[in-house]
Amino acid sequence: MRRQVAVGLVALLMVLLTATALVGGSVAASGAARAVRQATPHALPASCASANTGRNQAQDACSAAKRPFQVSTTTLEVPVPATGRVLSTEVWYPATKRNGRLVPDRSSGPYPLVVFSQGYDEAASAYSALIRQWAAAGFVVAAPTYPYTAPPGPLDEADIINHPVELRSVLGALTSVPRRSASVLAGLVDPGEVGLAGQSDGGDVSLAVADNTCCHDPAVKAVAVLSGAELSSFGGTYFTGPQVPLLVVQGSADTINVPACSSQIYNEAKGTKYYLDLLGASHLEPYVPPVGQSATASIASAYRRVAAQVTTDFFEVELARRRGALASMEQAGEVPRLAQFSVGGEAPPTGDWCNGSPANRVAGAESAAPTSS
């Protein structure tokens, strides 16, 4: 009987010791978890994290699971000391719904930044469908409104000479938002993954800040030039310093920014480069929806879908480091009778002049500019 009691007491003691160890281990694990959460203010939710992946991999998996993100906007007023002006800058960012309203989605951030520059006499909001697609794919996208550029005016296209320094001020403002600040953008922007995009004159400005010695900003890691050109007014030289991955998009029927301008850019670039040739497209229709009905509305919509997908994939490859997006980019850019896509090599040959460019080149060869009668 004493043996049975003794055995029972030993068994009870073992149970108590095991329970104590389990409770202690649980408390220790809980304390460790709290320490990790304190060290990582924007830790991934449990549904996105994986014990078998590092934080970057889990973060990317979470972002992929959420795409397309919901999108919200905010507006910044960015002072430019060099010109004494203030640029109103609209910012689109990935968002999530909380308590019935959209708030910044920091669980998958920080996100790569893309700064977009609009064309002359075009409002940044005219490109909102394209910009929203980038933001929904997991990018923070900012679009400054340059003075004397947007309707209703006053307009002065020569003011473009001031835009590179203003673009650099916007870049600086967005990449220096303190992570622990009251700003809606706190913790959203990855300052190490910055891209530029611009259409027409905005493409000229973006290219200058990315790849011209006049205005180069080392923070830029990729640039998409949509029907843009090199511009001699900026001074400096193009493609003589460190080069970033480049996407050139051009309509073959563009009479405002003729194909020779895009060919010149592409053929001079020596680094990673991609060319999207939109067959029969004019200057604006691949990027801005037309006002009212048009007989060519259907094909214009197709151009916009191709341009939006290729530009999104470009930034996913070069900024978000999603290498799988390269195949998507190539597939989206090859559409019979609508679009052709090239990686490396030379741009499609043209016989046009690119007026206003540093060398006024035709078909990629240096030549004197024609004189007007």
Location of structure tokens 């989206």: 332
Nearest-angstrom CA–CA distance, 156 and 149: 7
Same domain membership, residue 169 and residue 96: yes
Same domain membership, residue 60 and residue 34: no
pLDDT at 133: 98
In a domain, 306, yes or no: yes
The answer to whether 103 and 95 are in contact (CB under 8 A) is: yes
pLDDT of 361 over the 70 cut = no
Mean pLDDT of 233-238: 96
Helix (H, G, I), strand (E, B) or coil at 210: helix
CA 160 to chain centre: 22
Per the rule left: phi > 0, alpha: psi between -120 and 50, beta: everything else, 154 is: beta
The answer to whether 131 and 73 are in contact (CB under 8 A) is: no
Half-sphere exposure of 131 (CA within 13 A, CB side): 29
Helix (H, G, I), strand (E, B) or coil at 13: helix
Per the prediction, the chain carries an average pLDDT of 83
pLDDT at 56: 54
Q: How do 85-98 and 70-80 pair as beta strands?
A: antiparallel
Same domain membership, residue 130 and residue 101: yes
Half-sphere exposure of 16 (CA within 13 A, CB side): 6
The pLDDT-based confidence of 28 (bands split at 50, 70, 90) is: very low
Please give the model's pTM, rounded to 2 decimal places: 0.81
In a domain, 359, yes or no: no
* H or E element in which residue 63 lies: helix 55-66
The pLDDT-based confidence of 181 (bands split at 50, 70, 90) is: confident
Same domain membership, residue 10 and residue 65: no
Tens digit of each residue's pLDDT (9 = 90 or more) over 77-105: 999 999 999 999 999 999 999 999 999 99
Same domain membership, residue 113 and residue 13: no
CA 260 to chain centre: 26
In a domain, 365, yes or no: no
The pLDDT-based confidence of 124 (bands split at 50, 70, 90) is: very high
Same domain membership, residue 192 and residue 80: yes
Domain that holds residue 171: 55-343
The pLDDT-based confidence of 42 (bands split at 50, 70, 90) is: very low
Lowest mean pLDDT among 54-63, 149-158, 288-297: 54-63
DSSP structure string for 135-172:
HHTT-EEEEE--TTTSTTS---GGGGGGHHHHHHHHHH
pLDDT of 358 over the 80 cut = yes
Lowest mean pLDDT among 59-73, 284-298, 315-329: 59-73
pLDDT of 3 over the 60 cut = no
pLDDT at 225: 98
Report residue 278: phi and psi, to 5°.
-95, 110
The number of domains in the chain is: 2
The pLDDT-based confidence of 245 (bands split at 50, 70, 90) is: very high
The pLDDT-based confidence of 334 (bands split at 50, 70, 90) is: very high
In a domain, 358, yes or no: no
In a domain, 356, yes or no: no
In a domain, 109, yes or no: yes
Same domain membership, residue 11 and residue 74: no
Q: Considering all CA atoms of the chain, what is the largest pairwise distance in Å, rounded to the nearest integer?
A: 123
Same domain membership, residue 211 and residue 338: yes
Token pair in block for residue 164: 């590179």
In a domain, 89, yes or no: yes
Same domain membership, residue 155 and residue 18: no
CATH number, residue 220: 3.40.50.1820
pLDDT at 351: 76
Closest CA to 203 of 246, 235, 140: 246
**Residues near 31 by Cβ (< 8 Å), separated by ≥ 6?**
none
Cα–Cα distances in angstroms (integers) from residue 118 to residues 7, 21, 63, 90, 211, in the given order = 84, 64, 28, 12, 18
Same domain membership, residue 61 and residue 19: no
Nearest-angstrom CA–CA distance, 357 and 296: 31
Same domain membership, residue 118 and residue 16: no
Tens digit of each residue's pLDDT (9 = 90 or more) over 223-232: 999 999 999 9
Same domain membership, residue 74 and residue 183: yes
pLDDT of 52 over the 50 cut = no
The answer to whether 340 and 277 are in contact (CB under 8 A) is: yes
Within 10 A of 371 (CB to CB), how many other CB atoms are there? 5
In a domain, 334, yes or no: yes
Nearest-angstrom CA–CA distance, 346 and 342: 8
